[in-house]
A and B are shown apart, each in its own frame.
Chain A
Amino acid sequence: MSETAEHTGHHIDVKQFHPRAQAAIHNPKIRKNFRSAMDGLMSKRKTAFEGWDLETLRDLGANVRLRALANLPDLLEQLEEKLTENGIKVHWAVDADEACRIVRDICKARDAKTVIKGKSMVSEEMELNHYLEEQGIEALESDLGEYIVQLADETPSHIIMPAIHKNTGEISQLLHDKTGTDLSNDVEYLTASARQQLREKFMNADVGVSGVNFAVAETGTLCLVENEGNGRMTTTVPPCHIAVTGIEKVVPSMEDVSALLALLTRSATGQHITTYFNMISGPRKAEELDGPEEVHLVLVDNGRSAIYQDDELLDTLRCIRCGACMNHCPVYTRVGGHAYGTTYPGPIGKILMPHLIGLDEGRHLPSASSLCGACGEVCPVKIPIPDLLVRLRQESVDGDKLHPAKVRGHGAKRSSMEAMIWKGWAWMHASAGIYRFGTGAASKFRALQPSKAGAWTDYRTAPKLAAKTLHQRMKERGQ
């Protein structure tokens, strides 16, 4: 069990979801950037799975993850043992703060001044960059999207494509302002100039920090999926490599990786395979010419073992971080990633973040969904996201006496006013006589129906009460 880290630096008030969402909705640039990006990603995913028996593959993916989670404690021990055999030092962090301190201590022991980073959402969860800066250590993102976000002093708006909220023009302007490149809409030129600047940093970095996509227990291998080669540079060029990952990322064997990898790349970017797939199995051996002298793995709990205690919530930990749920989410598409104010935005963020930051902090997250089910439909490991959203809604209002809420911060959204409304609603609808009397009376006096009905009529006309209810009409028909 872990308490949330008191994040420093750029902490955003998650509770301010509404104003941020509203601002995003009225920002045509945000709307256009996300709509076109998400349309593109949805179509690429669809094409990538053509000719596949997707449902069978998703069942396989779900089962691989379920089996791994069922044996999680044993697998983690096995992983530690194998990694240690392979010369990788394993560290355990109960929360984000401890994980940050572990990274700092490794850096300090090497007198490291500069860290180059491959993309890692767990490091975002830790807010590692700001922490290291406070410790006098420069941390530079090397994934192009993360690099752009870092230059702009922002946070990622998508877990796979961190700078998806920006269009080419905005990126060009940013690179121009911060690094002096020429203004250009030529993506190749912009990428090349960023690469040029990063190359030097790679050569001089003291430590490389990366994430992990799959940690294989049987062989003690850390798998890293990426497209830009920056992941390989990060994990091989600096003399020390620190991988950080959540404890749920472990799988039993290499065989399990194949199914998850096939699902991950297709679901995320519609790619059959990424440009790079790194399998890290230890530091440089005596006879080898390159690779780091030291390799560390920091296994971060940060709320995960609390999720693990509940049979239903456990499904949250199946996630392989493909981002398909956000790509297909009509809410995410409208408000963008920053509106959520959380490390993980979109549907997965709505079911994961309440555990990381508490349901009191994240009280608005589970309700920000129409429960359309698009997320659950595309999830490559079949996480029942809509069901988990409903579960968290129940937890956020302490709404079920039979199944008392247990997520930290539960009940924070319960208001006596709303509770009273639902009690009144239940009173009316649990008794057929009262219901028929009430609906019948409403129909009879429908001329008195107000034309305004709260926020509903800000956008729409009010639905019109019929002259007679279906109950009355069926009764007239003798039914």
Chain B
Amino acid sequence: MVDPIKVYPSKPAKVYFYGTCLVDMFYPDAGIAGVELLEREGIEVLFPQDQTCCGQPAYTSGYHDQARSVAKAQLDLFPGDWPIVVPSGSCGGMMRKHYPDLFKDTPDEVKAAEVAGRVWELTDFLLNVCHIKLEDLGEPTTVAMHTSCSARREMGVAEVGPKLLGQLKNVNLVEQIRPEECCGFGGTFAVRHPEISGAMVSEKVETLVDTGAKEFVTTDCGCLMNIAGYAEKNHKPVSGQHILSFLWARTQGKGGQQS
């Protein structure tokens, strides 16, 4: 009944980096930023070149046979017992929360549960496993943050982004109204129900613009392409980036905990 309590591992020497397909094709800078941040923390990053997609789009569309065949191809990518870090609450949630269900009653059941147990959302990992200390080198700025629903509710990391941004002395974090409300992305939902999704993202952008911040950061590239894409198309004065890109840009080349 009770959601399992998160038990963070001690800081490992290595991690597997699961980039996600959206980062891979559209936002590789966010992925590289995550890798850089990890390496600055003294962690060796293993990037399995055979990774593709976690399978979530098919899973949430109900095509579980197809989701399982794609997810199965990911299960063998992490042979060591290092943690698997994911720059996305959504893909992280798929792997951590839904892989065990997806492979239940299959020969891969045990492996899937074992992999799932090692999956961490990357900002959570940086804050609570690496205990990262960020030194802000940037000019004073104001940002808003949108935590994805899956990062918030599946991975339970709603507090993490604000805490990381709070370490940056020149960054003023402002909160939009209804921060916990969905931006309307929802994967295939955005194209199956475009009007509803459009209504949701227009209100999300409106609340972000109302904060006065010219920039927002987010944990997930799905939300990012939705919110920033709406703002761009409708000429709204707010742009976005992945929180990892922002954190790396603000602290580039310095800081970090040498241990």
Residues in chain A near residue B28, CB distance under 8 A: 466, 468-470, 473
Flag whether B8 is at the interface (Cβ < 8 A): no
Contact of A390 among B51, B62, B190 (CB under 8 A): B62
| Interface residues as binary, A378-400 with B (CB distance below 8 Å gives 1, 0 otherwise) | 00001000010010011111011
Flag whether A2 is at the interface (Cβ < 8 A): no
**Chain B: minimal CB distance from A460 (Å):** 3
Residues in chain B near residue A10, CB distance under 8 A: none
Can you name the residue of chain B whose Cβ is closest to the Cβ of A377? Answer: B153
Q: Are B46 and A25 in contact (CB under 8 A)?
A: no
Q: Are B196 and A374 in contact (CB under 8 A)?
A: no
Q: Are B59 and A390 in contact (CB under 8 A)?
A: yes
Flag whether B57 is at the interface (Cβ < 8 A): yes
10 intermolecular pairs with C-beta atoms under 8 Å apart? A25-B198, A62-B1, A330-B200, A331-B196, A371-B187, A390-B62, A456-B191, A461-B232, A463-B229, A475-B49
| Interface residues as binary, A97-140 with B (CB distance below 8 Å gives 1, 0 otherwise) | 00000000000000000000000000000000000000000000
Most chain A beta-carbon contacts within 10 A, residue among B25, B29, B105: B25
Flag whether A448 is at the interface (Cβ < 8 A): no
Contact of B24 among A376, A425, A469 (CB under 8 A): A469
Q: Are B201 and A394 in contact (CB under 8 A)?
A: no
Can you name the residue of chain A whose Cβ is closest to the Cβ of B49? Answer: A471
Which residues of B are interface residues toward A (Cβ below 8 A)?
1-2, 17, 19, 21-29, 31-32, 35, 45-47, 49-53, 55, 57-70, 72-73, 101, 105-106, 149-150, 152-154, 178, 180-182, 184-187, 189-202, 225-226, 229-230, 232-233
Q: A63-B1, A377-B153, A430-B70 are in contact. Are A370 and B25 (CB under 8 A)?
A: no
Q: A397-B61, A402-B105, A439-B25 are in contact. Are A429 and B32 (CB under 8 A)?
A: no
Flag whether A335 is at the interface (Cβ < 8 A): yes
**Chain A: minimal CB distance from B235 (Å):** 11
Residues in chain B near residue A39, CB distance under 8 A: 178
Q: A368-B196, A371-B189 are in contact. Are A401 and B49 (CB under 8 A)?
A: no
Contact of A369 among B45, B186, B199, B229 (CB under 8 A): B186
Flag whether A462 is at the interface (Cβ < 8 A): yes
Main SS at interface, chain A: helix
Q: Are A374 and B182 in contact (CB under 8 A)?
A: yes
Residues in chain B near residue A457, CB distance under 8 A: 233
Q: A395-B62, A402-B105, A474-B35 are in contact. Are A435 and B196 (CB under 8 A)?
A: no
* A interface residues, how many (CB within 8 angstroms): 77
Q: Which of A421-458 contact B (CB under 8 A)?
A: 422-423, 425-426, 428-432, 435-436, 439, 442-443, 454-458
Q: Are B180 and A367 in contact (CB under 8 A)?
A: no
A-B interface contact total, Cβ < 8 Å? 216
Residues in chain B near residue A371, CB distance under 8 A: 60, 149, 186-187, 189
Q: A330-B181, A456-B190 are in contact. Are A432 and B51 (CB under 8 A)?
A: yes
Q: Are B106 and A463 in contact (CB under 8 A)?
A: no
Residues in chain A near residue B181, CB distance under 8 A: 330, 372, 374
Q: Are A430 and B2 in contact (CB under 8 A)?
A: no
Flag whether A21 is at the interface (Cβ < 8 A): yes
Contact of B149 among A368, A372, A466, A468 (CB under 8 A): A372
**Chain A: minimal CB distance from B225 (Å):** 4
Contact of B73 among A63, A423, A425, A430 (CB under 8 A): A430
Can you name the residue of chain A whose Cβ is closest to the Cβ of B186? Answer: A370
Flag whether A59 is at the interface (Cβ < 8 A): yes
Residues in chain A near residue B63, CB distance under 8 A: 394, 397, 399, 419, 422, 426
Residues in chain B near residue A462, CB distance under 8 A: 229
Residues in chain A near residue B45, CB distance under 8 A: 479
Q: Given the complex of chains A and B, what is the CA–CA distance between A390 and B106 in angstroms?
A: 19
Q: Are A399 and B64 in contact (CB under 8 A)?
A: yes
**Chain B: minimal CB distance from A45 (Å):** 13
Residues in chain A near residue B61, CB distance under 8 A: 393, 397, 399, 418, 422
